[in-house]
């Protein structure tokens, strides 16, 4: 195919795609639109062995592929609907989709600067801007990763190899280190500890208080006990926006403990990080706090298309290069030291992988198109909507049962129970009722909700809460009407299941 043919075909395909995609978005945002995906067409036949020729034809189907595209859309979860309140993300902003498309058109690999010159420059500029907004020193820098879990892994691996440099050559045989994290932290910290060779027995889960924040006094006590056993407390993970309750650990106090022990402080702000970057809640501010690494996922609260995650390093990227790099000279010819000039260095050697998407481009294009105020407004709107939902739960009365808040929302997640009258207030049955009502609503297809449970400290003991509804607010289109629809749906489910 010559260059003209490729350009003509691309224009034709993108024109048709724009029509199909925009029609899908328009229909997906209509009231009552299907939210749960329904697999159909050739995709529904994929499990049948006789459908192999249909699924993978010898001769292409040509323009009939748009029927397949529509089938894919029909079988997808509808994140454009305001009734998609299921996970910690929602539909992307339109300019983000343009950025995502641009990445595919360029097909650049950001492991080496010369392979993605503009992408490397934008990644460096965005990372340094984020570091500035966090109040990090000018030495700070960062890079993108395909998700917060992978970014957390890199933070832990960098901390491990910095604290125990012989690991790079001799392995883990003589290393005794402990990883400390809140009992409410994301499970990716556990997986990172396993991948780093420490194992789950080396992960110390610090209890939380009644609202889900790490207990700093117990953290210090546990770190002292670990050191007394000869196990070095080298890494502490604090969470900014826990996965379930949305709580923010007391980072300033945790930082002081880490400084006392010489431990690396990592902040997993995958979900709550935008509050520190673009919010005004002092509980999320990290200015003038010593943090070694920080993760934020713009693909969550900020509306950037999946995936887009940033890892910000206080000491810049050279600390990662020293800890993780192998200097593969057949690939990395750049001898420049990261941070010594405004020219981006080859960051691929600072990661555990090789190929990298220049995901910063789509984030930056949104920033250019919408402006900083757009992100500020998104964070404020999500926070205000969460508070409004909490107030509705707190004040709502029903003949079918009673509404109970788990805790006041710390960020943009609202957790609560609806206790049907038929349960006679038996707390042991609250969790089962929540699961049944949530499944009933989700099976209906016009709304997607989720539930969860956590362990909390009740002042005397740690107890496991019965499952409760967990409603994350990420979509700017969630309105007061949406919130009332959610509560009405729960009451309707209760009426059918617990008459």
- String of DSSP letters for 60-91: --GGGHHHHHHHHHHTS--TTSTTB-SSS--P
Which long-range contacts link 439-444 to residues 24+ away (Cβ below 8 Å)?
440/493, 440/496, 440/497, 441/489, 441/490, 441/493, 442/36, 443/36, 444/489
pLDDT tens per residue across span 252-281: 999 999 999 999 999 999 999 999 999 999
DSSP β-bridge partners for residue 238: 267
Specify the 3-state DSSP secondary structure of 176.
Answer: coil
- Say which DSSP state 448 is in: B
Give percent of the chain above pLDDT 70. 96
Joined together, the tokens standing for residue 361 give 């481009």
pLDDT at position 89 = 94
In 3D space, the residue among 78, 94, 26 whose CA is nearest the CA of residue 303 turns out to be 94
Centre a 10 Å sphere on the Cβ of residue 480 and count the other Cβ atoms it contains: 11
Measured CA to CA, the distance from residue 306 to residue 322 in angstroms comes to 29
Centre a 10 Å sphere on the Cβ of residue 499 and count the other Cβ atoms it contains: 8
Band (pLDDT 50/70/90 cuts) for residue 338 is low
* Mean pLDDT across the chain: 93
pLDDT tens per residue across span 174-199: 899 999 999 999 999 999 999 999 99
CB within 8 A of 231, min separation 6: which ones? 176, 177, 178, 202
Q: Is the pLDDT of residue 23 over 80?
A: yes
Inter-axis angle of helices 360-370 and 94-106, to 10 degrees? 140
51 phi, psi to nearest 5 deg: -90, 0
Cβ contact 237:190 at 8 Å:
no
Cα-Cα-Cα-Cα dihedral sign, residues 273, 279, 282, 286: positive
Q: Is the pLDDT of residue 43 over 70?
A: yes
Band (pLDDT 50/70/90 cuts) for residue 120 is very high
Q: CA-CA-CA-CA torsion for 155, 354, 109, 131, nearest 10 degrees?
A: 10
CA distances to 12, 20, 65, 188 from 8, rounded to whole Å, are 6, 19, 18, 44
Q: Is the pLDDT of residue 235 over 90?
A: yes
Cβ contact 259:236 at 8 Å:
no
Measured CA to CA, the distance from residue 280 to residue 296 in angstroms comes to 17
Q: Is the pLDDT of residue 341 over 70?
A: no
- Total length of the chain: 499
Cβ contact 358:123 at 8 Å:
yes
DSSP β-bridge partners for residue 462: 457
Measured CA to CA, the distance from residue 164 to residue 315 in angstroms comes to 17
Q: Is the pLDDT of residue 474 over 90?
A: yes
Cβ contact 194:200 at 8 Å:
yes
CA distances to 119, 246, 311, 335, 348 from 115, rounded to whole Å, are 9, 39, 21, 16, 11
Cβ contact 64:9 at 8 Å:
no
- Say which DSSP state 412 is in: S
Cβ contact 290:265 at 8 Å:
yes
Q: What is the mean pLDDT of residues 322-341?
A: 71
Band (pLDDT 50/70/90 cuts) for residue 325 is confident
Joined together, the tokens standing for residue 278 give 């673009």
pLDDT at position 50 = 59
Band (pLDDT 50/70/90 cuts) for residue 327 is confident
Q: Is the pLDDT of residue 337 over 60?
A: no
pLDDT at position 339 = 53
Cβ contact 211:408 at 8 Å:
yes
Measured CA to CA, the distance from residue 65 to residue 47 in angstroms comes to 20
Q: How many CA atoms lie less than 13 Å away from 474 in the CB half-sphere?
A: 29
pLDDT tens per residue across span 381-415: 999 999 999 999 999 999 999 999 999 999 999 99
pLDDT at position 41 = 87
Q: In what order do the strands lie in the sheet with 203-206?
A: 141-145, 309-313, 293-296, 264-269, 232-239, 177-182, 203-206
The CA-based diameter of the chain, rounded to the nearest angstrom, is: 74
Measured CA to CA, the distance from residue 229 to residue 223 in angstroms comes to 10
Q: Is the pLDDT of residue 480 over 70?
A: yes
Q: What is the mean pLDDT of residues 163-171?
A: 94
Measured CA to CA, the distance from residue 317 to residue 315 in angstroms comes to 7
In 3D space, the residue among 387, 422, 386, 385 whose CA is nearest the CA of residue 402 turns out to be 422
pLDDT at position 364 = 98
pLDDT at position 210 = 86
Whether the link from the prior residue into 235 is cis, omega within 30° of 0, is no
């Amino acid at each position: 195919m010559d260059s003209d043919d490729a350009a003509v075909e691309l224009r034709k395909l993108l024109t048709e795609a724009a029509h199909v995609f925009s029609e899908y978005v328009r229909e997906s945002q209509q009231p009552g639109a299907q939210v749960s995906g329904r697999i159909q067409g050739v995709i529904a036949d994929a499990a049948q062995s006789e459908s192999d020729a249909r699924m993978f034809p010898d001769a292409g189907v040509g323009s009939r592929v748009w029927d397949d595209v529509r089938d894919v859309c029909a079988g997808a979860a509808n994140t454009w609907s305001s009734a998609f309140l299921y996970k910690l993300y929602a539909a992307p902003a339109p300019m983000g989709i343009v950025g995502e498309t641009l990445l595919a058109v360029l097909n650049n690999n950001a492991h080496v600067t010369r392979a993605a010159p503009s992408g490397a420059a934008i990644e460096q500029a965005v990372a340094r801007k984020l570091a500035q907004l966090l109040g990090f020193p000018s030495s700070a820098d960062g890079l993108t990763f395909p998700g917060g879990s992978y970014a957390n892994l890199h933070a832990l691996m960098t901390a491990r190899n910095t604290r125990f440099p012989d690991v790079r050559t001799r392995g883990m045989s003589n290393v005794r280190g402990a990883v400390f994290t809140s009992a409410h932290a994301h499970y990716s910290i556990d997986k990172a500890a396993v991948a780093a060779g420490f194992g789950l027995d080396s992960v110390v889960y610090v209890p939380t208080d009644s609202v889900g924040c790490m207990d700093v006094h117990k953290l210090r006590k546990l770190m002292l006990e670990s050191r007394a056993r000869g196990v070095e407390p080298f890494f502490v993970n604090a969470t900014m926006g826990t996965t379930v309750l949305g709580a923010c650990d007391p980072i300033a106090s945790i930082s002081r403990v880490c400084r006392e022990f010489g431990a690396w402080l990592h902040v997993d702000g995958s979900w709550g990080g935008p509050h520190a970057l673009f919010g005004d809640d002092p509980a999320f501010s990290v200015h003038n706090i010593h943090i070694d690494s920080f993760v934020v996922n713009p693909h969550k609260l900020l509306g950037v298309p999946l995936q887009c995650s940033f890892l910000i390093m206080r000491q810049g990227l050279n600390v990662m290069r020293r800890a993780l790099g192998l200097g593969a000279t057949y690939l990395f010819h750049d001898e420049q030291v990261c941070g010594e000039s405004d020219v981006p260095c080859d960051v691929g050697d600072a990661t555990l992988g090789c190929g990298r998407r220049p995901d910063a481009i789509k984030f930056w294009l949104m920033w250019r198109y919408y402006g900083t105020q757009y992100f500020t407004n998104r964070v404020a709107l999500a926070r205000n909507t969460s508070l409004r939902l909490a107030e509705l739960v707190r004040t709502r009365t029903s003949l079918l049962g009673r509404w109970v808040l788990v805790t006041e929302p710390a960020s943009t997640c609202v957790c609560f129970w609806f206790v049907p009258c038929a349960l006679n207030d038996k707390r042991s049955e609250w969790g089962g009722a929540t699961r049944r009502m949530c499944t009933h609503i989700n099976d209906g297809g016009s709304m997607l909700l989720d539930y969860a449970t956590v362990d909390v400290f009740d002042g005397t003991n740690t107890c496991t809460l019965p499952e409760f509804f967990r409603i994350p607010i990420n979509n700017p289109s969630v309105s007061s009407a949406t919130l009332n629809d959610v509560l009405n749906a729960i009451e309707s489910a209760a009426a059918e299941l617990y008459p």
